[in-house]
Amino acid sequence: PRPIFLTRHGESMDNVRGRIGGDTVLSDVGELYAKKLGNFVVKRLKSERAASIWTSTLQRTILTASSIVGFPKIQWRALDEINAGVCDGMTYEEIKKNMPEEYEARKKDKLRYRYPRGESYLDVIQRLEPVIIELERQRAPVVVISHQAVLRALYSYFSDRPLNEIPHIEMPLHTIIEIQMGVTGVQEKRYKLMD
């Protein structure tokens, strides 16, 4: 059976500042994760000639993949982070203060809440369909480097979680989740590469 590896990008400058969305580069800590991920993947997949690395189109995932050499890389728009629309670039505190109705509406129904001129989790789940079809078709390992909301949705698909839980699943930074689909079901392993 061939594994799928899921990971968020390394810590970005916006992660440090607590801003959502954006397209910033990695922090020093994020860059260190990119190196460790590179070592991990190159070691684990060195005999897997057909393995591939999938990222979003945002810098922070492309930079996180930069130390993984020797494998084809594919950028998917469908792997981009949830579009926060008018809230892109804001902190949660700023949203709470300046757009309290939006903040409350999202808190009430995070799955269905759609950011003005942006997306909901349900929108993200829908746009992931072609990625999932392609992932299931692969014969070789795939490393998916994406974002918190997107990975919550992908992970839930493979681990068969109920829809309502998806927006609340813990998806830590600097951790690789390995998923193996076998005859007896799905097996999962986690590698925390940094403290």
Could you list the residues that contact ligand G3H (CB under 6 A)?
20-21, 81-82, 147-149, 167
Least distance (Å) between residue 149 CB and ligand G3H = 4
Between 4 and 12, whose beta carbon lies closer to ligand G3H? 12
Task: Say which residues have a Cβ less than 8 Å from residue 126's Cβ, sequence separation at least 6.
Answer: none
Q: Please say if 17 is a catalytic residue.
A: no
Between 45 and 176, whose beta carbon lies closer to ligand G3H? 176
CA–CA dist 79, 50 (Å, integer): 21
Q: Please say if 81 is a catalytic residue.
A: yes
Between 48 and 94, whose beta carbon lies closer to ligand G3H? 94
CA–CA dist 126, 120 (Å, integer): 10
Least distance (Å) between residue 148 CB and ligand G3H = 3
CA–CA dist 48, 33 (Å, integer): 22
Q: Please say if 15 is a catalytic residue.
A: yes
Q: Please say if 174 is a catalytic residue.
A: no
Between 29 and 42, whose beta carbon lies closer to ligand G3H? 29
* Token representation of residue 99: 């757009």
Count CB-CB contacts under 10 A for residue 165: 11
Q: Please say if 83 is a catalytic residue.
A: no
Least distance (Å) between residue 157 CB and ligand G3H = 17
CA–CA dist 118, 187 (Å, integer): 34
CA–CA dist 162, 144 (Å, integer): 22
- Nearest to ligand G3H by Cβ — which residue? 148
Q: Which of 15, 19, 119, 174 is catalytic?
A: 15
Least distance (Å) between residue 120 CB and ligand G3H = 10
Between 21 and 141, whose beta carbon lies closer to ligand G3H? 21
Q: Please say if 8 is a catalytic residue.
A: yes
CB 64 within 8 A of CB 146: no
Q: Which of 81, 119, 152, 174 is catalytic?
A: 81
CB 8 within 8 A of CB 171: yes
Least distance (Å) between residue 57 CB and ligand G3H = 15
| CA distance from start to end of the chain | 30
Residue 85 carries which DSSP code? G
The set of catalytic residues is 8-9, 15, 60, 81, 147
